[in-house]
Amino acid sequence: MSNHLGSVISSLIAIITTAATSIETYLKSNSEHAYVPSLDNTEPHPLDDAIYPLDIKHAVQCLEGACLQLCATLLRPNNDSQVFQHPCMGIVLRAGVADIILDKPAGMPVSEISERCGVDPKKLGRVLRLLCSQHIFREVSPGIFANNWLSMQLLSANPMWSVGMHLSDEPINKAAAHLADTILDSEWGHANSPYKSAFNRSTGYPHALWTYFEGSLDTSYSMTDENAIRALVNESKAMSPASRQLIHEHVMQSTTGSEVGEGTGAQLVPAPLLPNYGAGRARLYCLDIAMMTLGNSAERTLDEFIKLGEAAGLRFVRLWNLAEMGVVEMALAKRE
């Protein structure tokens, strides 16, 4: 057993080294900025907004998955019992801390930040210190904080500010606090209605999420199987035998690798990582739970996409694996 554990640890370290080297080489390939940005860096890098090529996306997933699996293997279980990053992110986002210290590269005392945003200085300092420990913001000297590469994403002018608010405040974080009570409820826990979600429980709002936000548009996330089939049928009416229907979506996968087969787009994931990359695709599973939380909805598996297509008179051709997302290719079913 000990020899096996040793080989697992060595394999994980090798995966981390290989993946990190691949990503570093890619980042250094930019002719104008051939370097890996430091966490303390606040200047934009040309690759910040770049779309990674597929091989680098897989390297990122290997790195994330192997790092967490190595920590889970070597560390005590209580090391993973930290749940306060989202609330602390919500505090600094709503208080506009990143904007307040934007022009202070040498840092600003927490007392001055407090005066600008109205948050108690001692409590704000503790919040910032937790985030600094996770490399969000930088504590230049005791009680003096500055932006860094990650906190620059929290500026109000950055689109990531809106994403952060969505995740750390309303609707997801506040609704997620009611997810356990909703799922364990004898009535609501077995309901699939978009009116009986954790979001409804947390807000007391009796209708679907999409009508809660004024001016919001409905999306496919609230689309029931019946409506999805109807949409696929309508689209298939314009198809010829040579046509293809492409569904660009998140495709859920089990942690067992049982989906491997012809046309499934399955990747050869290096052992001993989980066949779904583990933490390397954690965002996909978080998104699935977010769908459950906000509207009793879900991300679909490949098998579920195939069944939807068959019900609409389509046949599955293949899944194009694009790392976190995929493209399900469908064609008209062959007539007997």
Residue 218 has pLDDT above 70, yes or no: no
Residues 108 and 151 in one domain: yes
Helix (H, G, I), strand (E, B), or coil: what is residue 155? Answer: coil
The burial class, CB within 10 Å (0-12 / 13-18 / 19+), for 87 is middle
What is the average per-residue pLDDT within 312-330?
A: 94
Query: Do residues 36 and 128 both lie within one domain?
Result: no
Lowest mean pLDDT segment, chosen from 26-35, 183-192, 194-203: 26-35
In this predicted structure, which of 77-86, 136-145, 238-247, 290-299 has the lowest mean pLDDT?
77-86
How many distinct structural domains can be found in the chain? 4
Residues composing the chain: 336
Residue 201 in tokens? 């429980």
137 pLDDT band (50/70/90 cuts)?
very high
Can you spell out the DSSP letters for 64-113? Answer: HHHHHHHHHHHS-GGGG----HHHHHHHHHHHTHHHHTTT-TT-EEHHHH
Q: Are residues 241 and 300 in the same domain?
A: yes
Tell me, yes or no, whether 99 and 73 share the same domain.
no
Q: φ and ψ at 326, to 5 degrees?
A: -145, 170
Radius of gyration of the chain (CA): 23
Residue 67 and residue 94 in one domain: no
Where does a domain end: 146, 181, 216? 216
49 and 106 share a domain? Answer: no
Looking at the structure, tell me whether residues 94 and 154 fall in a common domain. Answer: yes
End-of-domain residue from the set 80, 103, 121: 80
Same domain for 162 and 179, yes or no, is no
Q: Taking 90 as the threshold, does the pLDDT of residue 183 lie above it?
A: yes
Distance CA 245, CA 309 (A): 10
Identify whether residues 204 and 237 lie together within a single domain. Answer: no
> In the chain, helix, strand, coil percent, each to 5?
50, 10, 40
Same domain (yes/no): 233, 250: yes
Other CB atoms within a 10 A radius of the CB of residue 318 amount to: 15
Is pLDDT of 271 > 90? yes
How far is CA 109 from its chain centroid?
33
> What pTM was computed for the model?
0.88
Give yes or no for a contact between 321 and 309, defined as CB atoms under 8 angstroms apart.
Answer: no
User: What is the C-alpha separation between 240 and 179, in angstroms, rounded?
Assistant: 45
Same structural domain, 256 and 327: yes
The CATH code of the domain that includes 296 is: 3.40.50.150
Write out the residue range of the structural domain in which residue 264 sits: 221-332
- Using DSSP, state whether 328 is helix, strand or coil: strand
Mean predicted lDDT score pLDDT of the chain: 90
Domain C-terminal end among 34, 52, 80: 80
Residues 119 and 110: beta-carbon distance below 8 Å: no
- Identify the residue with better confidence: 130 or 28: 130
- DSSP conformational letter for 57: H
pLDDT of amino acid 53: 94
What's the confidence (pLDDT) of residue 119? Answer: 98
Residue 226: how many other CB atoms lie within 10 Å? 9
Check pLDDT > 80 for residue 320: yes
Shared-domain flag, residues 226 and 324: yes
Which of 130, 212, 224, 215 has the alpha carbon at shortest distance from 174? 212
